[in-house]
Every structure is written in C-alpha cells, then in structure tokens.
Structure 1
Amino acid sequence: MQRLDMKQLLSQKLSPQQIQFIKLLQIPTAELETRIKEELEVNPALEEGDENTDDELEDQERDDEADGDEDFDDPDSEFDSDDNTLDEDFDEGAEEQPEIELPPKEEPADTAKDNEDLDLGDYLNDDEIAGYKMQGDGPGEPEDDREMPLADTGGSLLDALMDQLGFADLDEQQEAIGSQLIGSIDNDGYIRRDLSAIANDLAFSQNIEVTTDEIEAVLHVVQSFDPAGIGARDLQECLLLQLERRPQDEVTEHAERILHDTFDEFTKKHYQRIQQRLDLEDDELKEAVALILKLNPKPGGTGPVGLGKVQYIIPDFILTSDNGQFSLTLNSRNAPDLRVAPAYTEMFQAYDKAAKKDKKMKEAVTFVKQKLDSARWFIDAIKQRQQTLLRTMDAIVRYQHEFFLEGDEGRLRPMILKDIATEISMDISTVSRVANSKSVQTEFGIYPLKYFFSEGIATDSGEDASSREVKHILKEIIGGESKGRPLSDDKLEKMLNARGYNIARRTVAKYREQLNIPVARLRKEL
C-alpha cells in the first residue's frame, strides 16, 4: 500500500550567479571572447566600455539639465514645472534609446498617452517576464557541450581535395562517388570505412547504384591527389602510395618489398627475419628502412590546415622576470572593458518614478530590471574570474619559484591541487577548473598549468622529488642509450635507483608510456 510521507531535508543548490561564475572560470581565454560576444548580443543592457566614463557622462547630463531649467521657468511654456518630471526622464531615455518611441518635450501628453507610446512588445516575451533567466539556466543545450567557433585560417585539406576532384576527368556519377569518398576521409587522411558501406550510403542518400569495383576505381583516382598517401585504407597502403611517387631506384624497390612482403616483421622491428626473407645486405636494409621512416604516416595532417580543426594556444597569463622579481599579468583578453548601459539605468529610473503604472508599464519595468541584473551579474562574474585566476597563478609561481627562475624541469617541486587550494583558501574543484584549461607564457615558453602539478617520489635523502623530475631524468637516460642495444625497464629501474630515486619497474613502465617512448625492442635501430 502506498503512503505519502512528509520529510524535511536540508540541501545545497547553486545559485544562477554561481553557475555562471563556474562556467566562466573553466573556459580558456580563446573562448572567453566568444562568450562575451554572446552575452552582448542577448543583453542590450550590457555594453563594451570603461565604467569610469559613466561619471563623466553623469556630470555632462547635470550640466545639460541645468541649462534646460530656463525653458521650464518660461511662463509661456506649455509644461508646468511641477508636472514635467516624468516627461523629462523619458526624454533622457529617448536620447539614448531611439528605437523606443517617447513623446517629445514640445507636445503636451498625459500619462495614459505616455503608457501607450511605451509599448515594449518587441523587446518582451512571456518567458522573460516570469523571472530572470540566465544563459545555460534551464533546459536547452548545455554550454559546456557546445562547440565554440574557430577562426577560418584559409581553407582546409578537404576543400583542396574537392578542387582536385573537379579537375579530374570523371563523369557525373564518378564525381558523386569521389565526393562521397572524400567525405569519408578521417582526420589522419585515411578511409577506414568498407567500400560496401560507402556503396550503401550512395544508394540511400543519392539514389546511385554502384558496385564496390566502381568505387575502388574512383578511389584510385582520389589516391592520386595531393598530399601523397591520402585516401589510403591502412598504414601499409599509405606508405606504398608514397613510395610509388618517388624515383624508382634500388632503395625505393627494397623499401616497397619490405612493406609489401614483410610489413608485420617491419612493424615489430624484426630486421633479421626481413634480411633472411628478402636476402638483403646490411647496408641495403639500413637505407630502405631509413627511407620508410621518412614517409608520412598521417597525410591528413600535412600542410598549413589539415582535415581537423586547428586550435592555437593563447596564454592566459604572462610572467616576466626582472633580476629574480616576477611580474604576473593577465592576458588583456581576460580583462575586457564592460559596463551597464547608462541608457537602461536611466530608463529603469524613469519607469520606477512613474505615477501611474498599468500592465504594459509593469512589463517594461520587469524587462529592464532583468536585463540590468543580468548585466551586473555578468560583469561581477568576469571580475571574480580575474581575481581567482590571478590568486591561483600567483600561488603556483611562489610554490614553483625555483623552476620559474631558470626553467629547469629538474627544479620542479611535487605539487598537487590540494597544496594550491590550501594556499589560497579555495576549494580543490576551483583550482582544478583553473588548471585544466589555462596556460602561462614565460621566458622559457608557454606551459599549461597542469604541467606544474605532479606527485612526489621518495628519494634516499628522505625528500620528495617531483614525478616530472624523474620523467626528465628517465628521458635523458633513454636519449643517451645505445640504439643498437636499448635499455630494458629493469635496467632503467636499477639506474634510477642508483641515482637515489626509489622507484619500481612498473612505475618506470608507466612513466615511459606517458612520455610516448616505446619498449626497448621497438627502440632498436640498425
């Protein structure tokens, strides 16, 4: 039997202002500009400009009002000095907001007529009147999941391939097949879909019935386009396509045989098996392998713009040093000049002073108040974002002072999110949002903030060393090893232990993988 129970619960909920601040805090500088433009478009009460100029405008308005008092003292004036306050305020709003029709000073008008002229139906909708709503508050596409637009840098590889398709000697059906094939190329430049699946796509989407042989014939045409290797179905085919365009000499011939007949052995660097199967001399094998290693395994990423989108790194902080004294500044894009539109402030004051308020007047007051509150909250969130970013980065600079002096990776101290959160008296999640998407420009290059966070490794001296420092030393050891006899993880472990780092073999393997360094067998060279 179902029962209805009443319980009293205490829970925490984020306010719309807190949600807005969190979203602004975690986006990088490149996306902040776009977010501000979006807010400027949806909120007419927010505008670009320095807030300090508002005082100058107010002084100017007071002077204008003082000059205009003589008109109201004129006995021939149509207005009585005690009854013109509302019209005076409306006129000020009309000067700043010409799209709202307001009665001019020269024509007498009663309050009812003023209310008819103040029709803000074009600016209002029922959803906004119900209560203040912020972008991202309520149903709709989450802002975090929305893709931010990137600047067009002048065409993509996809456009270049379509241009080359237009110059190919193909009929209408073959061009349709070619367009479908080019559209199926992924970011690396490969076509990894089965030709039968592409045939089905053509049948369903364009009503074109073709066989896989006809598609393969057009595929060979696409594979002849630049860059070499484009449209390959796997790595082996990609490398062979590039070798076909090279001058056919003895080295190229050996390289083609290696890829065609012993590709599996080549990927595993079993060079002795390759020599036995192909009957190659040491010098011939060495020259052929060197040629293959010069080929491009990802032709889709070649040129100024590949198939994928290019996101340039814009530093959020700029750190300079003058004789050991650091100066930390925010990127100017993080500190935009925003202010509340003076016209909307004056408009709200005029509506609020109105003696008679009907439904339309109340709707106008509600609308203007919503936009003013939204603008103030957004400006406050931007300022709070700037303060949080500076406090967090300042704490990181003080914590990693030795590194920022010389840029030596070995001088990094072990540091976790909790260390900085404790330093600035903020929550760990706040520090995480700052560190995950921000970067700093130093005299030694641009570093993501995540770079400075690392765990500690115990040493023989009893102190903790940063895992970044251990990785740096591991990379140096591997870089100086004999390429003919690379060091195994066991040997690397012993060498690190000899230097005083208490580290296990599995940790060595983990750090090696994080550095994208293959196992010893795959590091072997001829």
Structure 2
Amino acid sequence: MKQSLQLRTSQHLALTPQLQQSIRLLQLSTLELHQELETLLIENPMLERVDDALDSAVRLLADGTINNATQQSESEFAVAEKSEANGTEQATKTDNTDTNGDGETQISSEDDWSFEDAPISGTKNNDEEDGRPQLEAAQITLREYLLEQMRVTVREGRDRALIELIIDAIDENGYLCETLEDIHDSLPIDLCVEMEELQFALKMVQSFEPEGVGARSTTECLSLQIRRLPKIPFVTRRLALQIVEEHLALFAQRDFTKLRKLLQCDDEDLREAQCVIRMCNPKPGLAYSEGKSDYVVPDVVVKKMGDEWQVMLNRDVMPRLRVNQLYANLMKQQRGDGSLSPQLQEARWLIKNMRQRFDTILRVAQAIVERQYNFFTHGAVAMRPLVLREIADTLGLHESTISRVTTQKYMLTPHGMFELKYFFGSHVATEAGGEASSTAIRALIKQLIGEEDQKKPLSDSKIADILGEQGMVIARRTVAKYREALKIPPVSLRKSL
C-alpha cells in the first residue's frame, strides 16, 4: 500500500473562546454571574465595575462625623463620567480598536457598558429610601433562650449544671434527643447523681418557654402545651389530652368516626378538642432556629402599561462594566510593552457578551409574554401549552439556547415570581380536539380543592370527572400526580368535622 497525499474540504464548528464565554455567561444564574464577575475583575486589570453597592452609603470617620470626601469623590466621578461621555460623542470612529496613521490605538465607546437606552426597571423615586446597608440583629438560639431562663429561675449550682446538661441534649426542634438513662450512665460515678435529680431537671426545662420544649415524643410535646393553654374549658382540655395521649394516630389519619365511638362524644365536642390541638406547635424549637430564607431576585419585570404587558430588565441585577481608562490611555500612548493587549481584548469580549446575555433574556421574556398573554390577564388557569421549540423558531435561536436562558432566570409578574421554565409545559387533549396546558390543569385542581366542602372533600376520581365535564380528558392517576406535585394531601387527610 503506497502512501499518498490527499486534499479534502470539510465543514466543522469551532468554539472560539469568545463563544465559549458567551455560552457560559448565558447559563449562569444571577448569583453565579456576579460571583464569576468578581473573579474576572480580580484577574483582569483592564476591566472595572462602575456600579458600587456602597457608593450611596454614608461613611463615618473615627469621631462619628460624616466623611465629606466621599460625597466629593462621587461628584468628581459624575463630572468625569459626563466629560467622558461628551468626549465619546465627539469621536468619529466606532470600531473597538482602530489604528490611525501614527499607529496609535483608539478606544471606542463600546468599552463602556451601561443600560441608559434599554427598557429597564429599578428606577428609584425621591420618596424611596436610599440603599444604605443595614446590619442584621443577631438571632437568639434556643439554647441561649433556655439558659437565660435557667439563670433567672435556678440558683443552686448543682441544679444549674444538671439543667444545662439537659439543655445540651435538646435538638433544634425542641425535643430531648437522649434518654435520661443514657444521660445518667454518661455521668461520672463520683458525682453521685441520682435519677430523681435528672427527672427534676427535666421538669424544670419543660416548664420553660416555649411550651413543649424538652419533650421526648410528639405526644408529650402536645400534652405539655395543652396543659398550659389558658382559658380552655375543663371538658375540652380533658378530651384533647385523651386524644393526643391515646389516639393520636387516629387523629392524624382524620378517622373521626372511630374517634367518636372510642371517646363517646359528639361532633361538637370533637370539633372543640380539634381546635385546641391545632393551637399547639409540634416543633416548638424551630422558632429559634438559625435557618435563613433564600430570596430570589428577578431578572425581568412584567408590568401592564395601558392594555399591553411590558417587559423590562431589572436594573439591580445588571452590572455596569467598562475598560479601565488609565491602562487604555497608556496603551494608546504606546507607553506599555503590549502585555496588556490580551487583557484588553478579554475585557471587551466580556462587555459584549454581558450585553448579549441580557439582550437574549429580554427577547425570550418578551416572546413568552406574547404567547402567554392570557396568563398575565386571567391567571394560571389560562396558561396555554408552550414548548422550547416554539420560542426558538420565533427568535431564530437554537433550542439549547432557550433552555439555558430559561434555567434559573426569574420573572416578576403581578401574579408572583416565576422561573421562566414555569411558562413551558406539556399539553392534555380536550374533547374539542384542542390542547390544555398541564399548568392550567394543576391550577384548576387547586381551585376545585380550595372550593370543596371540607366535610365531603373531592376524591381524585371525582376531580377527573369534573374536568371531563369541562372537556379535559384526564385520568385519575394523572390527577393524583398533579395533586401530589401541588403538595395537597389525599382526600382522607382533607376531611374535617
């Protein structure tokens, strides 16, 4: 076999670094985008951020007086920015990098990225408060709250030590996670601690606030709270205690027929006891937990302007970037050695890709609002079926691009905050030959259950029949799946007296 040279032409797609960065920025969430941006600002000296979260904050000196230099620097920055904008308007060349006859590098207006001309939200009125950072007060923990009560009520050092030992064994829900026998066995023998002393310490802890703390089971927790509830009739209190101590499983299953037979009471007495039990908290310690809520900041905001729905970008999540003018002028005057040229190009790529990211999000959001107009007007029951392919064909983008845009991007609407993927869903056939969105069907199921008679709740089969009367062909198991997705309990757990 002889060796030979052959010339062949073929087409292939090469992902340039700029394209890779554009794809990466597009799929990042708002939080991940700002984290990525902070890393790039540290690595690239040619890139700087104009918007500072602490620019509007008042800075204090050591003696407590206001630092006037801060306000002066802000005014100087505004004047410099205005003069820079005027100089940009007088420029005649618009290319990113251009070279004149002397070989100098010209810096274009695209090196700065702001959103002055874009339809964005987040403009502040004069009546609104300024964006000064506020310090969050430290939240007291359950252990600290119990120890504080112990210092006020108990004086003996030995009793304090045993009570603190019990408090250390309480979990975040307020329950004693260890038995008294295990605690007693873990103590040194030379301390001569009796079991009666531990029981007394536990009784003292159970007398503290919140009610029910230090319980060893759900039954004991509810029982402690019912005994301390004020202004409860004796008969009702006794019946509620009998339910939680002897028939708590039947009460959780809402088997009221069997409860009436065992307790030999009527519906009115059982209803009053049920109201007393519902006043209790089965997890009293969670009110002092250190869990923090996660807040979602919208990427786009939808508002109604006249008869139309307008989509605007949220200014609070859009960083303002620009090329560092100091280093750019050094390169313009050819004082540098050219080592910053790659960083300058990367900074321009980032500014361009950042602008393209938010432009794509805005276009996709506008296309969603146009197709889901009935949702914004009438609510979730008017949601229509929508797939990614439909938006991709309309905007001339790839389906994977639409998937990246709608992942972890949120839209603020008059009906609440929704992820962009919420507006996409499968369809269910109707008797008329049309299609109904699964989101609309879930909203109808939630509406039917919310309007049902609690004494005779609707079963999944009954809900399927009602939807069938409205022309929606849906099976009982599908109704059960949608109900579980909405975190709605079954019919047996929704029944009340």
Q: Normalising by the residue count of structure 1, what TM-score does the alignment of the two structures yield? A: 0.65
Aligned equivalent of 2:117: none
Amino acid at match of 2:147: L
Asked if 2 retains the 8 angstrom alpha-carbon contact of 1:435 and 1:449, the reply is: yes
Structure 1 residue 454 corresponds to structure 2 residue 436: no
- What is the distance in 2 between the residues matched to 1:11 and 1:180? 65
Amino acid at match of 2:233: D
What is the aligned counterpart of 2:294 among 301, 305, 311? 311
Which moves more between the two structures, 374-383 or 29-38?
A: 29-38
What is the aligned counterpart of 1:391 among 363, 368, 392? 363
Q: Are residues 176 and 413 of structure 1, via their aligned partners in 2, closer, same or farther at CA, if it must alter by over 3 Å?
A: same
Offset from partner CA, 1:30-59 (integer Å, 9 cap, x none): 565555445445544322238997794598
Offset from partner CA, 1:172-192 (integer Å, 9 cap, x none): 85576467446x42xxx3558
Asked if 1 retains the 8 angstrom alpha-carbon contact of 2:251 and 2:259, the reply is: yes
Residue 15 of structure 1: how far off its partner (Å): 6.0
Offset from partner CA, 1:249-285 (integer Å, 9 cap, x none): 3223321221111011111111122223233332211
Alignment RMSD: 4.2
Structure 1 unaligned regions, length at least 5: 1-9, 62-84, 90-149, 355-364
Residue 420 of structure 1: how far off its partner (Å): 2.3
Matches within 5 A, 1:108-147: none
Q: Are residues 40 and 401 of structure 1, via their aligned partners in 2, closer, same or farther at CA, if it must alter by over 3 Å?
A: same
Q: Are residues 306 and 430 of structure 1, via their aligned partners in 2, closer, same or farther at CA, if it must alter by over 3 Å?
A: farther
Kindly, what percent of the aligned residue pairs are identical? 33
Q: Are residues 151 and 311 of structure 1, via their aligned partners in 2, closer, same or farther at CA, if it must alter by over 3 Å?
A: farther
Q: Are residues 317 and 407 of structure 1, via their aligned partners in 2, closer, same or farther at CA, if it must alter by over 3 Å?
A: farther
- What is the distance in 2 between the residues matched to 1:212 and 1:386? 67
Which moves more between the two structures, 494-503 or 424-433?
A: 424-433
- What is the distance in 2 between the residues matched to 1:176 and 1:197? 16
Aligned equivalent of 1:111: none
Offset from partner CA, 1:395-421 (integer Å, 9 cap, x none): 1111112222x2322221011233323
Q: Normalising by the residue count of structure 2, what TM-score does the alignment of the two structures yield? A: 0.68
Asked if 1 retains the 8 angstrom alpha-carbon contact of 2:174 and 2:215, the reply is: yes
Asked if 2 retains the 8 angstrom alpha-carbon contact of 1:487 and 1:520, the reply is: yes
- What is the distance in 2 between the residues matched to 1:233 and 1:25? 51
Amino acid at match of 2:48: E
- What is the distance in 2 between the residues matched to 1:486 and 1:441? 34
Amino acid at match of 2:323: V
Structure 2 unaligned regions, length at least 5: 1-10, 52-76, 89-101, 106-132
What is the aligned counterpart of 2:402 among 428, 431, 440? 431
Asked if 1 retains the 8 angstrom alpha-carbon contact of 2:180 and 2:199, the reply is: no
Matches within 5 A, 1:203-218: none
What is the aligned counterpart of 1:490 among 458, 461, 482? 461
Which moves more between the two structures, 227-236 or 419-428?
A: 227-236
Aligned residue-pair number:
406
- What is the distance in 2 between the residues matched to 1:218 and 1:349? 78
Residue 306 of structure 1: how far off its partner (Å): 4.7
Structure 1 residue 340 corresponds to structure 2 residue 323: yes
Asked if 1 retains the 8 angstrom alpha-carbon contact of 2:169 and 2:178, the reply is: no
- What is the distance in 1 between the residues matched to 2:205 and 2:383? 50
Structure 1 residue 253 corresponds to structure 2 residue 254: no
Residue 369 of structure 1: how far off its partner (Å): 4.4
Q: Are residues 29 and 240 of structure 1, via their aligned partners in 2, closer, same or farther at CA, if it must alter by over 3 Å?
A: farther
- What is the distance in 2 between the residues matched to 1:40 and 1:196? 57
Matches within 5 A, 1:231-270: 235-247=218-230, 249-250=233-234, 251-270=236-255
Residue 288 of structure 1: how far off its partner (Å): 0.6
Amino acid at match of 1:49: V
What is the aligned counterpart of 1:382 among 351, 354, 358? 354
Asked if 2 retains the 8 angstrom alpha-carbon contact of 1:30 and 1:314, the reply is: no
- What is the distance in 2 between the residues matched to 1:369 and 1:197? 73
Asked if 2 retains the 8 angstrom alpha-carbon contact of 1:29 and 1:333, the reply is: no
What is the aligned counterpart of 2:448 among 477, 500, 507? 477
Offset from partner CA, 1:410-466 (integer Å, 9 cap, x none): 221011233323333334343333333222222343333233222111001100011
